[in-house]
Amino acid sequence: MIVIRLEDLLYSAPLLVLTSSGLLALIAEAAGRDKPVISYYTSLIGVITSLILTFLNLGAGVPVFNNMILQGGYAAYCNLIFLSSALLSIVLSRSYLERMQYHRGEFYVLIVFATAGMMLMAAALDLTIVFLGIELMSICLYVLAGFMRKKELANEAALKYFLLGAFATGFLLYGIALIYGTSGTTNLVVISRSFAQLSGNSLFLIGCGMLIVAFSFKIAAVPFHMWAPDVYEGAPTTVTAFMSTGAKAAAFATFVAVFVRVFDIPGTALSSVLALIAAASMIVGNVTAIAQNNVKRMLAYSSIAHTGYMLSGIAAGNAEGEQGILFYLVAYTFMNIGAFGIVSWVEQQEDRKLKFDDYAGFSARQPAVAVLMSVFMFSLAGIPPFAGFFGKYYVFLAAVKADMTWLAIIGVMTSLVSVYYYLRLVVLMYFCEGESDVAAKVPLAAISAVTLAAVLVILLGIYPSLLVDMTKGFFKI
């Protein structure tokens, strides 16, 4: 039996390079004590190299490592999201952590390994890899959430995230066990071939239901969202940026891979369950976000709402929905990470300057940053011509085409509600008096990272077809 072929290694080069850079950064951290900058550069080089290799690998998907993972195509597209999220988070983290006095090399190592976990999740062709990828990502994130270990809020966030994450793992595994028991395999391709006859088996459907519960925890969909606001608030802001974009995108990528690409869900009971979860997330997320005074918490609830929008694409289950989610994930990643990046510039030690009022009159002192923040807020609200608008347009269009007009109507109504709280921040920045300013001099790298995110949000808003055309061939297996 052939164990590894050369192609396996070549096709999974982005993953291998990234993992190696994580190991190198770890060694660098151990060797050069108190010089976290070495780990910073090592992981940065690793992520950028991996990004370049992924671009070269965007062609058709190829199953590698004995049909364990799929590399290229869909996986490569998702890798671009995770790697950009990791890249921006790493760049933003350096100055943020230095300011908060928690700058340590392990931070970057954990971000890199979490990204490797995400890449595995999106690439998984076997439920074993789904499980291991989720765990690799989650264990890194538990630690990152509690990285500011002398801060009570961070400890509590980490504990809550850990306990609920492990709880969700229990459901994930029970679901996998039931699917394995009824289908006799853990390979998703094999399961998809016999899906027609399996979907009549109630135990198999319970297994799928348990997977939905587990994934809903990871993407923070109502009613499994209760960890998100506390964890997003307690974690370091740049980690929140990473969690709410990369980790959410990874969970969605797996969700799509398992439930759309492999299991043919449209028309089954599972798709109506997903539609209900989507509707609940949109309503709860948006309505609760209005009441928030803390910007980080507002963005946490807004991220629950965005989960709802994206889930309606999965619930619709048609080609438009799939492409819509993939576009939405990219748009959401850039606009959200940009918004959190700016929040991290304004934030000061001991959780000061995180309130809405702390942004009053921001434009007077930092006109450029205020413009960037407004771009992200407009895009999150779904106002054209920014990328967020087209994301919503595609998923709602998909819902209408799948005869779920009610879901699209709820989506549009709740989006209108969301305009209120996003624009509240913009109004505060431009039309109110205040002393607000960024906490310290922001380094050029961080400014260019956020500017890049803003440029992409605008560019994808004007030319959404750049991405949408790319995703067309991803759902044939």
Partner 1 sequence: MDLYIIVFYLFALITLASAAIVVISKNIVYSAFALLFTFFGVAGLYVLLMADFIAVTQLLIYVGGILVLLLFGVMLTTKVIRVDMRTATVRTFPAVVIVAALAGTLIGIFWSTDWPQSPASDGFERTIPQIGEMLLTSYLLPFEIASVVLLVALIGAAMIARRERKAL
Partner 2 sequence: MDIQPYLLLSAITFVIGVVGVLARRNAIIVFMSIELMLNSVNLSLVAFSAFLGDVTGQMLVFFVMTVAAAEAAVGLAIIIALFRNKQTVNIDDINILKW
**Cα–Cα distance measured from residue 324 to residue 212, given in angstroms and rounded to the nearest whole number:** 20
Strand partners, 375: none
Minimum CB distance to partner 2 smaller for 137 or for 280? 137
Q: Which does 343 bind (CB under 5 to 8 A by kind): partner 1, partner 2, none?
A: none
**Cα–Cα distance measured from residue 420 to residue 152, given in angstroms and rounded to the nearest whole number:** 32
Minimum CB distance to partner 1 smaller for 15 or for 326? 15
Shortest distance (Å) from residue 155 CB to partner 2 = 4
Shortest distance (Å) from residue 156 CB to partner 2 = 5
Minimum CB distance to partner 1 smaller for 130 or for 375? 130
Structure tokens at 447: 């400014």
Q: Which does 400 bind (CB under 5 to 8 A by kind): partner 2, partner 1, none?
A: none
**Cα–Cα distance measured from residue 187 to residue 202, given in angstroms and rounded to the nearest whole number:** 20
Applying CB under 8 A, the residues found at the interface with partner 1 are 1, 3-4, 19, 26, 34, 65-66, 68-69, 101-104, 106, 109-110, 113, 116, 120, 126, 128-129, 132-133, 135-136, 139-140, 142-143, 146-147, 149, 158, 178, 182, 201-203, 205-206, 209
**Cα–Cα distance measured from residue 62 to residue 39, given in angstroms and rounded to the nearest whole number:** 32
Minimum CB distance to partner 2 smaller for 126 or for 358? 126
**Cα–Cα distance measured from residue 50 to residue 182, given in angstroms and rounded to the nearest whole number:** 38
Shortest distance (Å) from residue 137 CB to partner 2 = 12
Shortest distance (Å) from residue 133 CB to partner 1 = 7
Q: Three-state SS for 364?
A: helix
Peptide bond into 223 cis (omega under 30): yes
The residue written with tokens 């609200």 in the block is 381
Q: Which does 444 bind (CB under 5 to 8 A by kind): partner 2, partner 1, none?
A: none
**Cα–Cα distance measured from residue 212 to residue 440, given in angstroms and rounded to the nearest whole number:** 43
Minimum CB distance to partner 1 smaller for 102 or for 217? 102
Count helices and strands (H / E) in the chain.
22, 2
Shortest distance (Å) from residue 146 CB to partner 2 = 6
Shortest distance (Å) from residue 196 CB to partner 2 = 20
Strand partners, 62: 71
Q: Which does 76 bind (CB under 5 to 8 A by kind): partner 2, partner 1, none?
A: none
Shortest distance (Å) from residue 193 CB to partner 2 = 16
* Cβ-count burial 180-208 (b if 16+ within 10 Å, e if not): bebbeebbbebbbeebeebbeeeebbebb
**Cα–Cα distance measured from residue 249 to residue 134, given in angstroms and rounded to the nearest whole number:** 12
Shortest distance (Å) from residue 188 CB to partner 1 = 14
Q: Which does 169 bind (CB under 5 to 8 A by kind): partner 2, partner 1, none?
A: partner 2
Minimum CB distance to partner 1 smaller for 205 or for 360? 205
Applying CB under 8 A, the residues found at the interface with partner 2 are 127-128, 131-132, 135, 139, 142-143, 146, 149-153, 155-156, 158-160, 162-163, 166-167, 169-170, 173-174, 176-178, 180-181, 184-186, 226, 230, 233-234
Best CA proximity match to 87, nearest among 46, 26, 121: 46
Minimum CB distance to partner 2 smaller for 146 or for 341? 146
**Cα–Cα distance measured from residue 355 to residue 357, given in angstroms and rounded to the nearest whole number:** 5
Shortest distance (Å) from residue 352 CB to partner 2 = 17
Minimum CB distance to partner 1 smaller for 109 or for 354? 109
Shortest distance (Å) from residue 55 CB to partner 1 = 23
Best CA proximity match to 333, nearest among 273, 275, 391, 283: 391
Minimum CB distance to partner 2 smaller for 128 or for 348? 128
Residues 6+ apart with CB under 8 A from 455: none
Integer angstrom CA distances of residue 216 from 167, 191, 226, 348, 430? 12, 22, 11, 33, 37
Strand partners, 126: 187
Q: Which does 230 bind (CB under 5 to 8 A by kind): partner 2, partner 1, none?
A: partner 2
Q: Which does 347 bind (CB under 5 to 8 A by kind): partner 1, partner 2, none?
A: none
Minimum CB distance to partner 2 smaller for 78 or for 127? 127
